[in-house]
Each structure stands twice: as C-alpha cells, then as structure tokens.
Amino acid sequence: GRGSKPTEELTAAIVTGLRAWRQEAVERDFPQQLIITGKAILPNKIIEKIAERPRAVTTPHIFFSIIEWKWGTHEDCRYGNEVVAAVKAVLKDHPDEEEEKREAARREKVFDQLLALANKQRREKLRAVFQDCWDAVAAVTTGNMVSRG
C-alpha cells in the first residue's frame, strides 16, 4: 500500500525516472543557461524522499507539507504534476504485490457473492416452476382418482 516500503528495484527505478525528468525539465525550461541546475529544481534529497514512499505520491498536494518541495507547488503545481506523472509511469511497471493480493481477494469475494445470488435466483425460479406445476396438478378436476400402476 501507500505506506509499505518499496523494493530496491522500485526505489532505483523512481530515482532514475526522476533524475531523467529533472534533466528534461532543465533542458526544456532553462535552455542555454548555467545558473538553474537540475539539482536546484529537484534536489536529490527530495528524490530520495519520493523514492521512499512512491505510492504516496498521488497528487502534487503532497509537496505542500508531507514532502516539502517549493518547485513542486508553484505555477499551479506544474512541476509537481509532472513529477507525479513520472512516478505513476514508473509504478505501472512495478505493481504493488500486497495491493494485488487484496484486489484478488476482493474480486474473489465479489465473484462468490455473484455466484450465491445466481444460485438463489435459480432456486427461486425452480421453486416458482414447481409451485406452478403443483397448482396445475391440484387444479385438475376430472373427478377420476389417479392411481399408481
């Protein structure tokens, strides 16, 4: 889940992805200058904090207080939104095994509920058909006694 510790592989992928984003952002937004560097925009310390809890990075609002990052919150969270998108892109390739287990259990529970409902509906239909047959037999008034034979 959000609080679970990421695998080393996921942590490395997040760090790599965010460093790549950082380089692209500098080249895109601050071309041909040397003052604003990638580490000024997204410091390694922030990358490490994000990598520690990547599944918690779902909106840029996290950069206002939980992972304080000024560049992530200014200009209507422009960089914050881009970093969230970069994290989500990495997470697509690293599913949360615990969440997958919980989701599988939820699906199985829903399937069992649907199966129980289908069985209940089938029993109700059979009961209705049986009752109709019973009523039809009971309504026969030929006056003749039916005997086995």
Give pLDDT tens digits for 97-139: 776 677 778 888 888 898 888 899 999 999 999 988 888 888 8
Closest C-alpha to 84, from 94, 75, 73, 96: 73
Q: Is 100 helix (H, G, I), strand (E, B) or coil?
A: helix
**Average pLDDT for 50-54:** 94
> Quick one: pLDDT band at residue 143, thresholds 50, 70, 90?
low
28 confidence band (pLDDT: 50, 70, 90) = very high
Q: Look at residues 89, 32, 81 and name the one whose alpha carbon lies nearest to residue 60.
A: 81
If one compares 148 and 58, the residue with the highest pLDDT of the two is 58
Alpha carbon distances (Å) from 87 to 4, 29, 83, 115, 119: 16, 20, 6, 38, 44
Q: What is the pTM of this model?
A: 0.62
